């Protein structure tokens, strides 16, 4: 089975500071990688995805992520966060196995 590790359960950061949310996965086969965001009392929505091609992927709301095959990582970054980015972020992996595996989530708390 695949596994996804999000190393930080909570990340506090001040507004306008940069942030990185870390994600590592275990897989020996080709995978597709995703970051989802969940605002309070809502379902998850897609931030960005890596399917193939360029390893730097840009998503909505100024987020980007870099796929690193040798380190099996897919870290999410934003150069300057806003209060409205406060949410929980989930990394996920899928592939030919037709399932999605999720990490345990990282709560981003942006402080004024």
Partner 1 sequence: DVKVTQSSRYLVKRTGEKVFLECVQDMDHENMFWYRQDPGLGLRLIYFSYDVKMKEKGDIPEGYSVSREKKERFSLILESASTNQTSMYLCASSTGPGRGELFFGEGSRLTVL
Residues that bind partner 1 (CB under 8 A): 1, 4, 6, 9, 32, 34, 36, 41-46, 49, 51, 90, 92, 94-105
CA distances (Å), 1 to each of 25, 93, 94, in order?
11, 11, 11
State in angstroms the smallest separation of the CB of 96 from partner 1. 6
Distance of alpha carbon 57 from alpha carbon 107, whole angstroms: 21
State in angstroms the smallest separation of the CB of 94 from partner 1. 4
What backbone torsions phi and psi does residue 85 show, to the nearest 5 degrees? -80, -5
Longest CA span, the chain = 43
State in angstroms the smallest separation of the CB of 22 from partner 1. 14
For residue 38, give the H/E element and its range: strand 31-38
State in angstroms the smallest separation of the CB of 80 from partner 1. 26
Nearer to partner 1, 15 or 100 (CB): 100
Nearer to partner 1, 32 or 77 (CB): 32
Q: Are 26 and 69 in contact (CB under 8 A)?
A: no
Nearer to partner 1, 15 or 64 (CB): 64
Nearer to partner 1, 30 or 80 (CB): 30
Can you tell me which residue has the tokens 């193939």?
52
């Amino acid at each position: 089975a695949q596994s996804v590790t999000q190393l930080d359960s909570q990340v506090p950061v001040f507004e306008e500071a940069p942030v990185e949310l870390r994600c590592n996965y275990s897989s020996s086969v080709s995978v597709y990688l995703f970051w989802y965001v969940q605002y309070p009392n809502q379902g998850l929505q897609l931030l960005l995805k890596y399917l193939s091609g360029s390893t730097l992927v840009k998503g909505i709301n100024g987020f980007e992520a870099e796929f690193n095959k040798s380190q099996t990582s897919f870290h999410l970054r934003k150069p300057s966060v806003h209060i409205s980015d406060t949410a929980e972020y989930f990394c996920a992996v899928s592939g030919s196995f037709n399932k999605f595996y999720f990490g345990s989530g990282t709560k981003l708390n942006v402080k004024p």
